[in-house]
Amino acid sequence: MRKPDGKIVLLGDMNVGKTSLLQRYMERRFPDTVSTVGGAFYLKPWRSYNISIWDTAGREQFHGLGSMYCRGAVAVILIYDVNHPQSLLELEDRFLGLTDTASTDCLFAIVGNKVDLVEAGAADSREKEGHGPGTAGGGGGGSPKVPKPVQLEDAVALYNKILKYKMLDEKDVPAAEQMCFETSAKTGYNVDLLFETLFDMVVPVILRQRAQGPPQTVDVTSCKTPRRTRSGCCS
């Protein structure tokens, strides 16, 4: 078994589509998922690194395991369902606390999944009209296409709250616009973008951690990790 160089953890209420997103990305398909028990992970080679991505169980029963999964994580993906405002609230109430064990420079991404169920063009019209929460009606309606009950701004607001909670300076972390995504595991919309944007951001964090933290095992390859400086004549 290859040892992963960094860990990314997916958190969120059950049924928001964590397992589906991960399978869509790793296996390029959208199969019927069974409710995740405990947790599962994939190893994703990215550049010269191996990143492990952990899918967790959203069920209350397994909540206690979350802290352990998050321990040392370089990034946490918080997932909600754009059709269920409650799932966004849960992120703050139940899941944020689990990330206390993540590494100090852990990155956060907030992802609204299942946008395919939202009325087509809802996102566009919102952009034209300006901001503010849109019409929140018809959340669990029978119609497959409904106006989007949770707006991207809500996710941005949560992201900023997280920064406060973590006592992070906005200047030191990626901007909310970069870290809030809307996806569909069903259609694949934004799924690659989400994971690959995050992988690219995570690589410098891995490098920094290797350079700073005293590694638990002597890793010959990381000894030479160059600290990026601005010096050099023609870069």
Partner 1 sequence: MMSTKAFTLVSAVGWELLAGDKERVHVECVECCGKNLYVGTRDCVVHHFLLEERALPTGTATFSAAKQLHRHLGFRKPVNELRAASALNRLLVLCDNSITLVNMMSLEPVPSGARIKGAAALALNENPVNGDPFCVEVCIISVKRRTIQLFLVYEDRVQIVREVSTPEQPLAVAVDGDFLCLALTTQYIILNYNTGFSQDLFPYCSEEKRPIVKRIGRQEFLLAGPGGLGMFATVAGISQRAPVHWSENVIGAAICFPYVIALDDEFITVHSMLDQQQKQTLPFKEGHILQDFEALQVMYRRILQQAGFIQFAQLQFLEAKELFRSGQLDVRELISLYPFLLPTSSSFTRSHPPLHEYADLNQLTQGDQDKMAKCKRFLMSYLNEVRSTEVANGYKEDIDTALLKLYAEADHDSLLDLLVTENSCLLTDSAAWLEKHNKYFALGLLYHYNNQDAAAVQLWVNIVNGDIHDSTRSDLYEYVVDFLTYSLDQELVWKYADWVLQKSEEVGVQVFTKRPLDEQQNSFNPDSVITCLKKYPKALVKYLEHLVIDRSLQKEEYHTQLALLYLDEVLRQKSGTSSKAAEASEIQLKLQHLLQKSDLYRVHLLIDRIRGAGLPMESAILHGKLEEHEEALRILVHELRDFAAAEDYCLWRSEGRDPPYRQRLFHTLLAMYLQPGPTAPELAVAATDLLNHHATDFDAARVLPLLPGTWSVQLLHPFLAGAVRNSVHARRTAQVALGLARSENLIYKYDKMKLKGSSVQLSDKKLCQMCQNPFCEPVFVRYPNGGLVHTHCAASRHTNPSAPGPGART
Ligand X SMILES: Nc1nc2c(ncn2[C@@H]2O[C@H](COP(=O)(O)OP(=O)(O)O)[C@@H](O)[C@H]2O)c(=O)[nH]1
Q: Which does 186 bind (CB under 5 to 8 A by kind): ligand X, partner 1, Mg ion, none?
A: ligand X
Q: Which is nearer to Mg ion, 57 or 152 (CB)?
A: 57
Whether the Cβ atoms of residue 219 and residue 210 lie closer than 8 Å to each other: yes
Is 17 a binder of ligand X (CB under 6 A)?
A: yes
Q: Which is nearer to ligand X, 111 or 203 (CB)?
A: 111
Whether the Cβ atoms of residue 180 and residue 193 lie closer than 8 Å to each other: no
Is 19 a binder of Mg ion (CB under 5 A)?
A: yes
Name the minimum Å distance from CB 174 to ligand X. 24
Q: Which stretch binds ligand X (CB under 6 A): 103-111, 114-122, 149-157, 202-210?
A: 114-122
Residue in 72, 80, 123, 118 with CA at minimum distance from that of residue 99: 72
Tell me, by CB under 6 A, how many residues bind ligand X. 19
Report 178-197 residues binding ligand X (CB under 6 A): 184-186
Q: Which is nearer to ligand X, 66 or 209 (CB)?
A: 66
Whether the Cβ atoms of residue 104 and residue 89 lie closer than 8 Å to each other: no
Q: Could you give phi then psi for residue 99, rounded to 5 degrees?
A: -85, 5
Say which amino acid occupies 137: G
Out of 8, 9, 11, 14, the residue judged to bind ligand X by CB under 6 A: 14
CA dist 73 to 66, 86, 148, 172, 220, Å? 11, 25, 31, 18, 22
Report 34-63 residues binding Mg ion (CB under 5 A): 36
In the complex, the residues that contact partner 1 under the rule CB under 8 A are 1, 3-4, 7, 37-41, 59, 61-62, 64-65, 67-69, 71-72, 101, 216
User: Residue 52: CA atoms inside 13 Å, Cβ hemisphere, count?
Assistant: 18
